[in-house]
């Protein structure tokens, strides 16, 4: 079997997927949707990652074509994994960097695999987004001495963008808490934990959050300097007004 998980470059409705692939989507793991027919097993995550599993890679390419998607699209984030079914293995599953091997297939196992891979794809999306924010942050720090008070609103918008990115990462990717279904499924939990380890989900998530914290510190530093400049500017206005009042008072007195 072949698995392909991709971050959707544009939203797809459930109806669009159902109609194009001739299947029905039902509620799956952690607010996602899944469905299957003779050709495909499809999982749509709540954070915009679509996962397709099929016996043949060509069928996955055909599914993408039906959905008006192409692997040739610029900056498309994808991950693929072969899934091997081996009824003779002693363990229920084995996961390596090269392949996922199952003793037998089941909708739950495929959904758990799809969730972990889609989390990896979603995390890669945020890693690239953070790289862009990190470059912007560096430029802001480099121009710290020329940063004017008038650009304070621009900096506030950047800070809001950081906060939204952090919120999306924590709430959407579902990496801080295990899926609820795993509490009652020991084998499924073990499969998810192994996939999480191989894909380095926790480590990558921590690194991403660390980058966000660093960018936040840079923004706070620039904000403090801007606020200091604003305070100095207001102080000089007060001084000038006092001097004007003194001059006007002396003028009236000398008359």
Residue 226 has pLDDT above 90, yes or no: no
Q: Are 83 and 2 contacting, i.e. CB atoms less than 8 angstroms apart?
A: yes
Same domain, 96 and 8: yes
The CATH number covering residue 53 comes to 3.30.160
User: Rounded to two decimals, what is the model's pTM?
Assistant: 0.79
**Interval 4-32: pLDDT, tens:** 999 998 888 899 999 999 898 888 777 78
83/130 same-domain check: no
Could you tell me if residue 188 is inside a domain?
A: yes
151 & 71 share domain: no
Parent domain of 7: 2-105
Residue 229 reports pLDDT greater than 70? no
Does residue 146 surpass a pLDDT of 70? Answer: no
Taking CA atoms, 113 is separated from 117, 163, 199, 250, in Å, by 6, 30, 11, 83
**Which pLDDT tens digit goes with each residue over 36-63?**
888 889 999 888 899 999 998 899 999 9
pLDDT for position 242: 80
Beta bridge partners of 100: 83, 95
In a domain, 118, yes or no: yes
Q: How many Å apart are CA 75 and CA 77, to the nearest integer?
A: 6
Please report, rounded to a whole number, the percentage of residues in the chain having pLDDT higher than 70.
Answer: 87
Domain count, the chain: 2
Q: Provide the Cα torsion 212, 216, 222, 225; round to 10°.
A: -160
- Domain's final residue, options 105, 140, 172: 105
């Amino acid at each position: 079997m072949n698995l392909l998980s991709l971050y959707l470059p544009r939203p797809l409705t459930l109806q669009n997927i159902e109609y194009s692939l001739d299947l029905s989507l039902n509620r799956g793991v952690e607010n996602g949707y899944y469905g299957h027919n003779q050709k495909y097993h499809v999982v749509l995550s709540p954070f915009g990652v679509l996962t397709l599993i099929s016996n043949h890679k060509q069928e996955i390419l055909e599914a993408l074509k039906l959905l008006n998607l192409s692997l040739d699209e610029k900056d498309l984030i994808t991950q693929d994994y072969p899934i091997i079914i081996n009824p003779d293995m002693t363990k229920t599953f084995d996961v390596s960097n090269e392949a996922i091997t199952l003793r037998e297939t089941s909708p739950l196992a495929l959904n758990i695999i799809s969730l972990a891979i889609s989390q990896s794809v979603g995390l890669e999306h945020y890693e690239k987004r953070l790289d862009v924010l990190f470059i912007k942050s560096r430029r802001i720090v480099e121009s710290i001495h020329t940063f004017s008070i008038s650009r304070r609103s621009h900096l506030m918008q950047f800070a809001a963008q950081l906060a939204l990115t952090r919120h999306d990462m924590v709430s959407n990717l579902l990496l801080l808490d295990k899926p609820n279904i795993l509490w009652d499924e020991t084998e499924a939990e073990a499969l998810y934990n192994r996939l999480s380890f191989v894909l380095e989900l926790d480590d990558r998530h921590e690194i991403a959050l660390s980058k966000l914290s660093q960018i936040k510190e840079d923004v706070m530093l620039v904000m403090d300097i801007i606020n200091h400049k604003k305070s100095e500017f207001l102080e000089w206005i007060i001084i000038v007004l006092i001097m004007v009042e003194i001059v006007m008072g002396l003028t009236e007195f000398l008359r």
